[in-house]
């Protein structure tokens, strides 16, 4: 009988509870994410929300109204960083196919939802979280239309718990006019550029699909349900964003003309390596850019060798809304380097606060979640972290405490456990 009871208990659903403990963080330097800094700050958290943000020298507040008081003197407080366009939670070991769940068979799959494949038990997530990345846009890969992404918090028992903004947008990979193949199996040494013979055919597929989807969603009476077209409805009503993965000027220009013809309201360029050349066009059409990996080499031999480093500054100078992402090899585990990419952008033109904004509030605006997160402001979710050093500096970044919607997050990782294990083994103090 006891064994039966134990078996039942093991398989009961685990219920999580909202954070009820109130917290007051005092004396730290608060980087609000909106270009503002409060040197001697107080931040109050209740019921998962930020209820107080002020200068401790001038504000009136009651310490006794909070359950916990954190003294952050000499430390820095930041809004949780956001990783857009990421396969975090969709892959574990890139070289092991069975652990990769970011791509489905087919070329035009807008109805594929990345959210339901998101694995909250991924061993990679804690390593990313420990560097201050607390939210991510989980994005599918492959084909002409990869599928639909969602924004998640990096905490929770399952994908339902983690969901922050469900099905926020559809991702298309605009065909390349000319591409380059790699000369080696590890995709390290790129070969010469080659013309894409199927470009016209591939763009024709996209144009027909969007025309059919638009006609379908404008029809009141439908003979049968088309899941692909249903998944694209939000693109035409303005409730979803169309994320266009493209890098070259000609391709981005054609993609922009394409969305104008289809009257798609919310559009974001993902990659945008040549976006600095068409900033006027991007501004005219209110198109934002999720910049490709900053820690990269330039695409063309004639480009400045530091072009990827200074691309954020060029867009900032031109007034184009942008944020940073880490798409590429080892991108899931490499998401922990997101703050350091912002640090590189700060070294190449941006101010430190502008660089922080590129991985916080700018990202939140582009993903449509800026009303509830992305900065430390009253009324927003208490998704913040405390670092003993500069979060954008690889040498001094050290996340000491982190909160997601007011819940204190465990920052321990397998790497921490191994460190303690072998430190004890070899008697290192």
Cβ-contact 312, 291 below 8 angstroms: yes
Element (H, E) at 228: helix 227-231
161 and 120 Cβ atoms separated by less than 8 Å: yes
CA distance 366 to 384: 19
Q: pTM to 2 decimals? A: 0.92
379 band by pLDDT with thresholds 50, 70 and 90: very high
Does the pLDDT at position 4 exceed 60? no
Domain locations in the chain? 14-80+375-429, 81-174+231-373
Among 276, 247, 279, residue whose Cα is nearest residue 174:
247
CA separation for the pair 245, 404 (Å, rounded): 30
Look at residue 187 in the predicted model and tell me its pLDDT.
62
Hunting for tokens 């690889």 — which residue is that? 394
| Average pLDDT, integer, range 238-262 | 96
DSSP characters for 149-194? EEEEES--SSHHHHEEEEEEEEEEEPPPSEEEEESSTTS-SEEEEE
User: Over the stretch 48-82, which tens digit does the pLDDT of each residue have?
Assistant: 999 999 998 888 888 889 999 999 999 999 999 99
Q: Hey, what are 369's tokens?
A: 């979640």
Residues 72, 26: Cα–Cα separation, whole Å: 6
CA distance 130 to 143: 33
Percent of residues, the chain, with pLDDT higher than 70: 93
CB distance 63 to 395 below 8 Å: no
Sort strands 23-31 and 37-46 into parallel, antiparallel or unpaired.
antiparallel
Residue that has been written with the tokens 């038990």 in this structure: 121
Over the chain, what is the mean pLDDT?
91
Q: Is the pLDDT of residue 280 over 60?
A: yes
DSSP state of 335: G
d(CA 106, CA 142): 9
Looking at residue 27, its pLDDT comes to 95
What is the C-alpha to C-alpha distance for residues 429 and 423, in angstroms, rounded to an integer?
A: 7
* Paired sense of beta strands 399-404 and 76-79, if any: unpaired
Beta carbons within 10 angstroms of residue 35's beta carbon: 14
Cβ–Cβ under 8 Å, residues 26 and 56: yes
pLDDT band at 7 (very low <50, low <70, confident <90, very high): very low
**Residue 88 DSSP SS3:** strand
Q: What is the pLDDT of residue 340?
A: 97
Residues 399, 21: Cα–Cα separation, whole Å? 21
Q: Which whole number is the average pLDDT over 277-304?
A: 94
Share of the chain above pLDDT 90, in %: 78
Q: How far separated are the first and last CA of the chain, in Å rounded?
A: 49
CATH class of 81-174+231-373: alpha beta
Cα gap 399→235, rounded to integer Å: 38
Tens of pLDDT, residue by residue over 156-214, are 999 999 999 999 999 999 999 887 676 666 566 677 778 888 899 999 999 999 999 99
Q: Looking at per-residue confidence, does 218 or 15 come out higher? A: 218
State the pLDDT at residue 183: 67
> In whole angstroms, what is the distance from residue 300 CA to residue 280 CA?
22
SS3 178: strand
Q: How confident is the model at residue 404, as a pLDDT?
A: 97
Q: How far apart are CA 121 and CA 344, in angstroms?
A: 31
Q: Are 386 and 76 in contact (CB under 8 A)?
A: yes
Question: Looking up tokens 């960083």, which residue turns up?
Answer: 81
Ordered strands of the 145-153 beta sheet: 81-86, 133-138, 145-153, 163-173, 241-246, 267-271, 288-291, 322-324
Q: Is the pLDDT of residue 9 over 50?
A: no
pLDDT beyond 90 at 5:
no
**What CATH number does domain 14-80+375-429 carry, 2.40.160.60, 2.30.40.10, 3.40.50.2000, 3.30.1540.10?**
2.30.40.10
List Cβ neighbours of 168 (8 Å cut-off, separation of 6 or more).
137, 148, 149, 150, 151, 240, 241, 367, 368
The pLDDT assigned to 94 comes to: 83
133 neighbors 326 (Cβ within 8 angstroms): no
Q: Which helix (H) or strand (E) holds 78?
A: strand 76-79
Per-residue pLDDT, 33? 96
Cα Rg of the chain, angstroms: 23
Question: Residue 59: what pLDDT?
Answer: 85
Backbone angles phi, psi at 18, to 5 degrees: -65, 150
97-110 per-position pLDDT tens digit: 888 898 999 999 99
* 377 burial type by CB count under 10 A (0-12 exposed, 13-18 middle, 19+ buried): middle
The stretch 286-306 carries a mean pLDDT of: 93
Q: Name the pairing type of β-strands 37-46 and 49-55.
A: antiparallel
């Amino acid at each position: 009988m006891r064994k039966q009871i134990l078996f039942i208990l093991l398989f009961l659903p685990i219920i999580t509870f909202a954070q009820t403990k109130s917290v007051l963080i005092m004396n730290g330097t608060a980087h609000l994410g909106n270009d503002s800094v409060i040197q001697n700050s107080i931040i109050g958290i209740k019921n998962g929300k930020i209820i107080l943000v002020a200068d401790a020298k001038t504000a009136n507040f009651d310490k006794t109204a909070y359950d916990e008081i954190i003294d952050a003197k000499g430390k820095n407080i930041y809004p949780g960083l956001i990783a857009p366009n990421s396969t975090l939670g969709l892959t574990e070991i890139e070289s092991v196919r069975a652990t990769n769940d970011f791509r489905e068979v087919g070329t035009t799959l807008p109805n594929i939802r990345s959210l339901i494949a998101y694995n909250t038990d991924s061993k990679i997530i804690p390593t990313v979280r420990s560097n201050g990345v607390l939210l991510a846009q989980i994005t599918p890969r492959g084909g002409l239309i990869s599928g639909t992404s969602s924004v998640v918090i990096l905490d929770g028992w399952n994908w339902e718990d983690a969901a922050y903004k469900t099905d926020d947008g559809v991702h298309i990979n605009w065909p390349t006019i000319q591409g380059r193949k790699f000369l080696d199996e590890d995709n390290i040494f790129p070969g010469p550029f080659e013309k894409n013979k199927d470009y016209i055919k591939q763009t024709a597929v996209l144009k027909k699909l969007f025309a059919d989807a638009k006609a379908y969603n404008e029809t009141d009476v439908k003979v049968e349900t088309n899941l692909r077209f249903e998944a694209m409805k939000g693109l035409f009503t303005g409730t979803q964003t169309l994320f266009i993965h493209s890098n070259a000027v000609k391709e981005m220009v054609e993609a922009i003309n394409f969305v104008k013809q289809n009257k798609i309201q919310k559009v974001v360029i993902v990659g945008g390596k040549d976006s600095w050349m068409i900033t006027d066009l991007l501004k005219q059409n209110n198109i934002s850019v999720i910049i490709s990996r900053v820690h990269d080499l330039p695409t063309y031999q004639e480009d400045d060798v530091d072009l990827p480093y200074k691309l954020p500054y060029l867009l900032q100078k031109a007034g184009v809304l942008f944020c940073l992402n880490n798409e590429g090899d080892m991108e899931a585990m490499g998401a922990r380097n997101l703050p350091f990419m912002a640090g590189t952008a700060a070294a190449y033109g941006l101010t430190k606060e502008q660089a922080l904004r590129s991985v916080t509030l700018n990202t939140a605006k582009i993903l449509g979640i800026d009303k509830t997160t992305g900065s430390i402001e009253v009324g927003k979710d208490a998704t913040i972290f405390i670092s003993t050093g500069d979060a954008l500096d690889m040498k001094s970044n050290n996340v000491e405490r982190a909160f997601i919607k007011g819940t204190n997050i465990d920052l321990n990782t397998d790497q921490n456990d191994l460190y303690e294990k072998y430190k004890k083994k070899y008697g290192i103090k």
